[in-house]
Amino acid sequence: MATSAATKRLTKEYQAISKSPPPYIIAHPSEKNILEWHYILTGPPETPYEGGQYWGTLIFPPDYPFAPPAIRMHTPSGRFQPSTRLCLSISDFHPKSFNPAWEVSTILTGLLSFMTSEEMTTGSVRASDHERKLFAARTRWWNSTGGGTSGRTIPGVCSSNSRGVGAIKAGDGGVKFRKEWPELDEENWKIMREKRVDPATGLTVPENSAHSCSPEAAALRRRLGGSATGVGVVVQGGQVARDAGQGWLSRYKWRLVAGVFFGYILVARLVGESTSSH
């Protein structure tokens, strides 16, 4: 429960950051809890994060501004561990170093500055620029689908992976992001439709793709999909072929039995007629 001082201070800061947001930063408090803030950092140009949409939260203590918030970034970035508390001089890891004069905009500007550096701390990870660019390209998809766990589909785009590549174990399908950022969520889905992004995998599906949306084809792709390579693919392919053969036999086994029976009778008659003629 926020103190009256914290509520007054955070209300004032929301008005200020809404009127004049810092570059590449937007933020707002949750409707139900003014101590829970949601932010979006847009990856700055000429960085590995360029164009990325990085969503995170600031959880303020009830006695803010006399103590700092817990800082998390939920969107995978290749810079921070998703949804992990970050150890920064502006976070709750270092309450004694926090300056009450610092505002939300100051905190988020410091976070963006740290993100674009290579300094390491608790909650940060190492990755190549190439890897971080790949993460950046998939941030909108990740935010709006909960890492591939959304049941929503895009017309004309048939998923080749029912589980999703890199899907999080307890993904919410993008519900929380959509609740906090409805306009951005709508924009993200529009971009995914235009680029034909598979909601389950985050991968672009070519317009002339051979993907079929028939249940049989989808089932076959699921059996052959996944991360198996080399021998694993061959084994899986052989199993699919055997299953297909077994399915054919189960459907036509009675026809085969009848054919063999009548064939036996026909051969027996021919043999009997040949024997009697002699």
Active site residues: 87
Classified as helix, coil or strand, 77 is: coil
CB count within 10 Å of CB 41 equals 26
Asked if residue 72 lies in contact with residue 83, where contact means CB atoms within 8 angstroms, the answer is yes
Asked if residue 59 lies in contact with residue 35, where contact means CB atoms within 8 angstroms, the answer is yes
Spatial distance between the Cα atoms of 21 and 30, rounded to a whole number of angstroms: 17
Report residue 34: phi and psi, to 5°.
-70, -15
User: Nearest to residue 158, comparing CAs of 92, 225, 111, 109?
Assistant: 225
Asked if residue 88 lies in contact with residue 74, where contact means CB atoms within 8 angstroms, the answer is no
Report residue 234: phi and psi, to 5°.
-60, -45
Residue 50 has, within 13 A of its CA and on its CB side, a CA count of 6
Give me 239's structure tokens.
């199993």
Asked if residue 168 lies in contact with residue 74, where contact means CB atoms within 8 angstroms, the answer is no
Classified as helix, coil or strand, 42 is: strand
Spatial distance between the Cα atoms of 185 and 174, rounded to a whole number of angstroms: 9
